[in-house]
Structure 1
Amino acid sequence: MSSEDNHDPEEIPQLKLRSQLALLRQEHRDLDAAIEALLQSGRRDPLQLQRFKKKKLALKDKIAKLEGRLLPDIIA
């Protein structure tokens, strides 16, 4: 019996989204640390820094998109 068998079938997609969201947030934090390490190393590599920042921004967009799927719009 898998752990998904213990949940309401409607919860499973949300659990998967939450898991994916956690992974993306961790990757975003890791990139933040990599950028900081690159800056602290004194080894200024503008191309690598640009790649890291671009990937971090793409992750931020994915995170926002997933958060939007998890939190329905509330119309006031």
Structure 2
Amino acid sequence: MSADSAQRSDRRVRVSVDRTRCAGHAVCLIHAPAIFDIDDDGYSVVLDPTPSDIAAARRAEENCPERAINLEEEL
């Protein structure tokens, strides 16, 4: 089993976007299109707040230029 597979089955995260920080670069959409979308104003919205693909959510978080994406581990 790969590390990504283990992450998917053993952990859960909650994804959120700080709309006051989002500048609409859409980098999150590039890295995790199943988790994020862009609203009519061009800002990020979360489609799946508890995604199974944690690696994609982390890539989006790490690459957000405004650091507007937050991942919190759920127990």
Fold match (TM-score > 0.5): no
Larger Rg computed on CA atoms: 1
Q: Which has the higher strand share?
A: 2
TM-score with structure 2 length normalisation? 0.27
Q: Which has the higher helix share?
A: 1
TM-score with structure 1 length normalisation? 0.27
